[in-house]
């Protein structure tokens, strides 16, 4: 079954698997070393209820996106790949809204990475869909 995916598709699936593994690791890091995870993202940790929400939401976001991607690669599922791609891809418009509406700093580098991840994983989903 995997042989029906083109070489380019296999490369895209490999890239999606790497992104999936990376986001899964980031999610686990949020659970076991939130200071490191937040620092890597340029964020400071909140306190009290906000800390519980920050760790829980951030871990679930990264674990969800990462595991959707990994599962999508393993099962050659375009739906799971797209779910992971969309989770990451929707962060970019959120950042732009935060900048324009709420006075947050503009963060072009993370936005570019999020858009790139979205495009590559969506392309992997398309490659699986077309087989």
Interval 67-83: pLDDT, tens: 999 999 999 999 999 99
For residue 8, the model assigns a pLDDT of 96
Tokens 């509406």 sit on residue: 101
Interval 33-46: pLDDT, tens: 999 999 999 999 99
pTM of the model: 0.92
Q: Which whole number is the average pLDDT over 107-124?
A: 98
Buried b (16+ CB within 10 A) or exposed e, 96-124: eeeeeeeeeeebeeebeebeebbebbbbb
Confidence check: pLDDT of 2 > 50: no
The model's confidence at residue 3, banded by pLDDT at 50, 70 and 90, is low
Q: Distance from CA of residue 130 to its chain's centroid?
A: 23
Separation CA 20–CA 28 (nearest Å): 12
For residue 1, the model assigns a pLDDT of 44
Separation CA 80–CA 128 (nearest Å): 11
Long-range Cβ contact pairs of 105-112 (< 8 A, separation 24 or more): 107/42
């Amino acid at each position: 079954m995997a042989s029906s995916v083109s070489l380019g598709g296999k490369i895209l699936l490999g890239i999606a698997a790497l992104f999936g593994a990376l986001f899964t690791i980031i999610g686990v890091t949020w659970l076991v070393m939130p200071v490191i995870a937040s620092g890597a993202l340029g964020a400071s940790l909140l306190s009290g209820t906000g800390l519980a929400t920050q760790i829980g939401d951030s871990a679930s976001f990264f674990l969800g996106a990462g595991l959707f991607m990994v599962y999508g690669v393993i099962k050659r599922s375009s739906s799971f790949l797209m779910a992971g791609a969309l989770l990451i891809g929707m962060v970019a418009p959120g950042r732009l809204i935060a900048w324009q509406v709420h006075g947050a700093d503009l963060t072009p580098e993370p936005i570019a990475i999020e858009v790139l991840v979205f495009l590559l994983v969506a392309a992997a989903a398309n490659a699986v869909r077309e087989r």
